[in-house]
Amino acid sequence: MKKLALFIAMIVGVLTPVQAVQSQSGQAQGQGNGAGQCSGPYVLTARQSSGQTYDPNENTSAIVRINLQPAASDTPQGCASLPVSIFPQSASTFTFGNGGNAIGFTQVNSGLVSQANATRFELSGNARSQLVRGTPVDVDLFEISAGQFLAAGEYQGTVLVQVGDGLPTPVLFTIIVRPAIKFVIENGSLQKDLSFGDVTDGSTLQTTVFYQSNAAVAITIQSQNLGSLVHEGGSAFGNIPYSLVYDGTPVNLASLAQINRAFTGLGTRREQMQLRVEPQTRKYAGTYRDVLTLNYTAF
């Protein structure tokens, strides 16, 4: 049976201050109708609060959120009239990239935003009022769709948060795509039953493993009988040694063996195993067996 193992990493967001600076024209006033004013600085902190990891092997989407909260508990109520905008830093649309790779996502139009499109989010009046009352707000921004087999690593994108006519403040978002493996499964199972047939005159068999990996791979190979086929009646009836070459590399089955494979791309890998039994004489008739366990770990 072939097994999968995954490396898990987590990035924690950093609190970043976002401050509204009143302009000389008094744009911090409430909607121009004299209903209220935002006197003094109005400071928000912003950080990524979810969506720090993405697992290509999982069949569930991931939500990327931003957490906004007031830096002070005595914010004037008139500050609720100030718009709070979220928009990309260096592109016309939001992106999360790693070199030439990018994560696919859709923008979320939650009840906490009054506008959500490819270029910006605008917080709703309800969300702005919560902030002014001192209540933190978590806003769903993006949904990363399931089923994306992406190269492992850090994907980053920076959004700008602006309060009123204040200076936009960058907030870095980091999404870790976990190392993952996907096997091309034959006959609905990760287990293969192989037969040398009659080994009196020796026998060779071959089998192929197909898989995808988004990172480097460590393959451990372990023989239950340390490289021998053992008679069905037990070791007292003898054993037959055999050899293994994995994708061109001879494997010593007398102990746990490991082969490392560098990351070469997201395409399907085809790796061949060749097993060989030399001609046998003076052996008891019967069936001889061994169990090979291959463990593939992306890292």
CATH number of domain containing 149:
2.60.40.3590
CA 77 to chain centre: 41
Same-domain check for residues 150 and 285: no
Tell me the residue range of the domain where 13 lies. 8-177
pLDDT digits 0-9 by tens, 249-267: 999 999 999 999 999 999 9
Whether 187 maps to a domain, the answer reads yes
Same-domain check for residues 60 and 159: yes
List Cα–Cα distances, 113 to 98, 140, 195, 212, 233, in angstroms: 28, 9, 63, 39, 72
Whether 256 maps to a domain, the answer reads yes
For the chain, how many structural domains are there in total? 2
Q: Per-residue pLDDT averaged across 121-142, rounded?
A: 96
Whether 152 maps to a domain, the answer reads yes
Q: Residues of 132-162 as b/e, b for ≥16 C-beta within 10 angstroms?
A: beeeebbbbbbebeeeeebbbbebebbbbbb
pLDDT digits 0-9 by tens, 260-297: 999 999 999 999 999 999 999 899 999 999 999 999 99
Whether 3 maps to a domain, the answer reads no
Same-domain check for residues 168 and 189: no
Whether 1 maps to a domain, the answer reads no
pTM over 0.85: no
Same-domain check for residues 19 and 167: yes
* Whether residue 133 has pLDDT greater than 50: yes
Same-domain check for residues 220 and 160: no
Give the pLDDT confidence score for residue 36 in this predicted structure.
55
DSSP-based three-state secondary structure for 231: strand
* Whether residue 117 has pLDDT greater than 90: no
Which residue type is seen at 181? I
Domain boundary among 177, 196, 220: 177
* Whether residue 90 has pLDDT greater than 60: yes
pLDDT digits 0-9 by tens, 5-52: 222 222 222 233 444 433 222 222 223 233 457 876 889 999 999 999
Same-domain check for residues 126 and 206: no
